[in-house]
Amino acid sequence: MASTQPEIAYDFSPMLIVYKDGKVNRLMGNDIVPPSLDPKTNVDSKDVVYSPENSLSVRLYIPKNVTQGQKLPLLVYFHGGGFCIESPFSPLYHNYINSLVAEANIVVVSVQYRRAPESHLPCAYDDSWKALKWVASHVNGSGPEDWLNSHADFEKVFFSGDSAGANIAHRMGIKSGIEKLEGVNVEGIVLCHPYFWGNEAVGNETSDAKSRKFIETLWRFAYPETTGCDDPWINPVVDRDLSKLSCRRVLVFVAEKDLLCARGWYYHQKLKEIGWGGEVEVFETKGEDHVFHLFNPAGENAEAMLKKTAAFYLRN
């Protein structure tokens, strides 16, 4: 008797499994929580549509104690998940952003973007840029969202993300350096365990064929038209436009046990070597793995990372 089990085309456990019949089984990142006033952090949030044609929203966050006319630094955040899973509305990201807003006293725009495989790259990049242009429409205080009109300081704008979201944050930094967002001063970019890679190992990066194949296959799955792992969209050090990164400060977080750790250090090295001109710093967390701060936010290392991040946003 023939098996009724569908055949697997791609197994990216513990993230997702894709079957040959086209079914996508996301194994994590499916839960969502509504926006709310969080009693623990006293941070308020709400969802606003920025792309009606693609049914995409941003989740806005603001400290509840902000006073009338008070301007706060503005962070635009891009979630991780290999370009395939998670959203700004998952408990993982909602709780993290609440804590970050409370610690740093900032306004946050957390961006939803289309995900692979239903929408392959460059859709996520295109959506993220559209979200940034939506944010920039508030520069003169006449945009569609009052929280941004009243409280966002467009002289102190930051981009950030984790993993694939850090990859997007970097890309948005390059794109805004080339195309400019009028009235928006991108002060800094924070990359948390960025999803960067390359054909050849760098530093003490693993040479294990199975591990490298997993990362490469995931990238090609998310972006079928890519030229490979030396595509500048995953290997930014080969990007001719790297020096156009549109900020004056970059903070890169890496984790010692993360497969991507050496790549973050290499990015830092190359920014210095090309004479980019801004400040770039790496903060390595010993004994931790990829995006540990999201899964164990109460841990000592996660709290240290949160404080380091907040200090970066608050620095004059």
Active-site annotation, residues: 163, 258, 290
Q: Is the peptide bond before 14 cis (omega within 30 degrees of 0)?
A: yes
DSSP-derived 3-state class of residue 82: coil
Burial of 96 (0-12, 13-18, 19+ CB in 10 A): buried
Nearest to 252 by CA among 138, 166, 128: 166
Angle at 146 between CA 142 and CA 147, to 5 degrees: 125
The Cα-based distances of 77 to 11, 35, 139, 175, 275 in angstroms read 28, 16, 18, 16, 27
Task: Give DSSP secondary structure letters for 124-165.
Answer: HHHHHHHHHHHHHTTTTS-SS-HHHHHHEEEEEEEEEEETHH
